[in-house]
Amino acid sequence: MSEAGGGRGSGSPVPQRAPWSLVAATAALCLVSATSVGTAVAAPMSREEKQKLGNQVLEMFDHAYGNYMEHAYPADELMPLTCRGRVRGQEPSRGDVDDALGKFSLTLIDSLDTLVVLNKTKEFEEAVRKVLRDVNLDNDVVVSVFETNIRVLGGLLGGHSLAIMLKEKGEYMQWYNDELLQMAKQLGYKLLPAFNTTSGLPYPRINLKFGIRKPEARTGTETDTCTACAGTLILEFAALSRFTGATIFEEYARKALDFLWEKRQRSSNLVGVTINIHTGDWVRKDSGVGAGIDSYYEYLLKAYVLLGDDSFLERFNTHYDAIMRYISQPPLLLDVHIHKPMLNARTWMDALLAFFPGLQVLKGDIRPAIETHEMLYQVIKKHNFLPEAFTTDFRVHWAQHPLRPEFAESTYFLYKATGDPYYLEVGKTLIENLNKYARVPCGFAAMKDVRTGSHEDRMDSFFLAEMFKYLYLLFADKEDIIFDIEDYIFTTEAHLLPLWLSTTNQSISKKNTTSEYTELDDSNFDWTCPNTQILFPNDPLYAQSIREPLKNVVDKSCPRGISRVEESFRSGAKPPLRARDFMATNPEHLEILKKMGVSLIHLKDGRVQLVQHAIQAASSIDAEDGLRFMQEMIELSSQQQKEQQLPPRAVQIVSHPFFGRVVLTAGPAQFGLDLSKHKETRGFVASSKPYNGCSELTNPEAVMGKIALIQRGQCMFAEKARNIQNAGAIGGIVIDDNEGSSSDTAPLFQMAGDGKDTDDIKIPMLFLFSKEGSIILDAIREYEEVEVLLSDKAKDRAAILKGKMIPSYIINSNPEMENEEQPSSENDSQNQSAEQIISISQAVDLVDQESPEESSLNSHPESLSPADSDDAASLSPSEQTSNPTEDHETTSLDGECTDLDNQLQEQSETEEDSNPNVSWGKKVQPIDSILADWNEDIEAFEMMEKDEL
């Protein structure tokens, strides 16, 4: 049975959740009130249009793969903005992201089987020869065991699987003699030392040359790993054992899965995100289907498909029942606490959960798959891409998008299961957005911020391994593929493993260990894989009927509207107090707080603290209301802080040969023309002399009517702005003087004035780090005249280039022009919010002499030190002050149902401490001292804002 199959099935019953499930319940209830329009099914797509879109996918792949081979190979990845390869150690560290790089030509290996799927057999044969000739797996580099397994080991095995298939067909690969398999075996043995733990869970990292714990290894001291990291090995390791006859690989992977199953939370049957590899204790006790856990569930079900072991299916069904019982709140999937699964651990979702509808298709549970997929698609239509994280009311939480393929994966499987041409239109939208917003001259660039359209110098290997594979298969008919895709299963990296492995070298004992841990009722378990051709009638009306009520879920969501508060009000009960309505001077409010176990403390400095002890609440329901109130107050306080910050801006290169396809993330200024209120500024760039802009310009004729480039340092930002303005410049871009700095690795910050009145500065000013600034400087050296657009967010290329000669591939990717004059609703709403909510922050100017690290938008005020002189002011972004006796309109929020555009967008990189100790002061006490009587719930609150993907 191929993963491509799927069928209609009945999901587990979903009981009512705890009544305080906050925005989740809000969104769900708003769904019910969403207007349903019509029942018409999308028109079938003609064979010609499908072929046209398939050919477009092929051209896009050629653009990405060709640029990697030309500009980056043999480096691991392509840097598409600077047209060079990313080599570990030669670029600024990106932290854990770099653990995927091992100096083994990662992108080439990850792309091997994609070449065959896309009918590029000649290129595949050449690529295999390059891998065998050039790739070295014995490098002195520390890599992620998880990433190396799914990308490199999986890539080698997928390449081997299709190489032997082509060899059997007789035209290509006749010289092949299992060389890729031998490389895979060599790599497998290099990964085995990671499993040398008492639990059998692998270390998260290993040195390819020196292994674990040796002095030269620089690894082996870690204690924690993620559940997905330890539980996403069985397909590749079992395939390696089945291909080679060496059983040790499958044995080690099975042992890790057995241990994770044994350590699940027995009452909820959920697993946490992070586990101690030595003790088996859960380090992070929140549970979901996204980052940190996702592929663990995927591999349990697919291990049953590939290996035929019933215990894997029984485990998956047990977990799936828990997911549908506690985590699934259609169309949302929200993390919960494993010990108290009726309590949400987050108010946001991450992009990695987009794979889950595809897994539900394989399970045969189509209805919730359609619902969640539709919600995700509406978020994409709102932001062009799926943000790395977004809130339950569909605001951006983390604004990056590294060209993840999970949504395309689910789109493909849903089309296979339903036959609904709607999903072909979804795929068409994905293609258009990639060409329109992510395509750059040297490939496709990840989105730094989906709100501004700015780019990151990054094109991950999974983009070629998965995105183009799923998009091509979506539009391809059976005869378009040179082999039967139904004979293979997809790994989590979309590598292909043949299903005939299930009957090869079955030397591993299939003892059903599941029943040793728990007594399970398997009466509702599906013991076979659904088949789309038999169980599912490919009836598009079925998918349409499920999807239609969700049509307006994003645009019509109520961020803080209808919830169980209003439900209880309709039933006659008095609704609980909401944070937005709270007034510290209202005796009735204080009495309600007391009933919920919340105490109000007036501090000597005039600030107010709220403390909750759940055991002091009048009832368990009141305690839950108290928790909800505290969580709302945390969000409200955080939102007020964020409203004092300016969002990032965009610098878009619009001249030849960029044509608006390169967008750079820029820091805003607290002075000068506000790009969120005025039309963008467009002009050619010119360097000022002196370059630092700290004195009267000696080349005013060069910058007059242009956007001046200035180097950071030696004077205040406002002084630079005045000097270039006096010379006739229409705007300014300050470029960091710290060589090598980048928005990829340094937090963005906003330029402040000089402590004086800056109303005389009328031109827009933006800040670029050194790496982004170098892209403009390099373009000037190569093309002399470079034109840029300064704006609040990237503009549509068709509107930018209207009336100009445009290359055909750009025209084709922009079939419709957006209205260039349309104002930015996001920034307008920010101004409205600032008027509705009385500011309680005192902004402190940021000065040019300080480093960007100190002036970070997401730094905590308490971590920053005041400067020693008036010329170098403190860099704290804001300090909260308030008087509790003042009118607490400062905490009120509009409770009516409004369009998402009118909600203040969260900064993508802001991660603030979640703390029920709500205080309108500049310092917040630790959470432990506030909810000491409810430790497990404390952990859930802590994870709500501190989680990292």
Catalytic residue annotation: 147, 294, 388, 406
Which residue has tokens 């499958």? 250
- 3-class secondary-structure state, position 688: coil
Residue 600's contacts (CB-CB under 8 Å, 6 or more residues apart) are 584, 590, 593, 608, 609, 610
Instruction: Name the DSSP letter for residue 465.
Output: I
What number of helices (H) and strands (E) belong to the chain?
A: 30, 30
CA angle 525, 528, 531 (to 5 degrees): 125
Sign of the Cα torsion 213, 218, 223, 225 reads negative
Q: Residue 735: phi, psi to the nearest 5?
A: -110, 130
Any idea of the CA torsion for 738, 743, 749, 752, to the nearest 10 degrees? 50
The answer to whether the CB of 916 falls within 8 A of the CB of 612 is yes
Q: Which two tokens stand for residue 414?
A: 């849903």
Instruction: Name the DSSP letter for residue 869.
Output: B
CA angle 177, 183, 188 (to 5 degrees): 135
Q: Beta strands 328-329 and 332-333: pairing type?
A: antiparallel
Selection from 292, 323, 172, 303 nearest residue 241 by Cα: 303
Q: Which two tokens stand for residue 688?
A: 């000022």
Strand order in the sheet with 662-666: 446-449, 454-456, 662-666, 649-653, 787-791, 681-687, 707-711, 731-735, 765-768
Q: Any known ligand binding at 114?
A: no
Q: Which two tokens stand for residue 246?
A: 């060496």
The answer to whether the CB of 728 falls within 8 A of the CB of 699 is no
The answer to whether the CB of 310 falls within 8 A of the CB of 261 is no
Residue 735, classified by CB atoms within 10 Å of its CB into exposed (0-12), middle (13-18) or buried (19+), is: buried
Q: Which long-range contacts (CB under 8 A, 24 or more apart) does 432-435 make?
A: 432/813, 432/814, 432/815, 433/380, 433/384, 433/385, 434/60, 434/403, 434/467, 435/56, 435/60, 435/809, 435/810, 435/812, 435/813, 435/814
Largest Cα separation within the chain, whole Å, is: 85
Q: Which two tokens stand for residue 884?
A: 């509790």
Annotated binding-site residue numbers for Ca(2+): 492
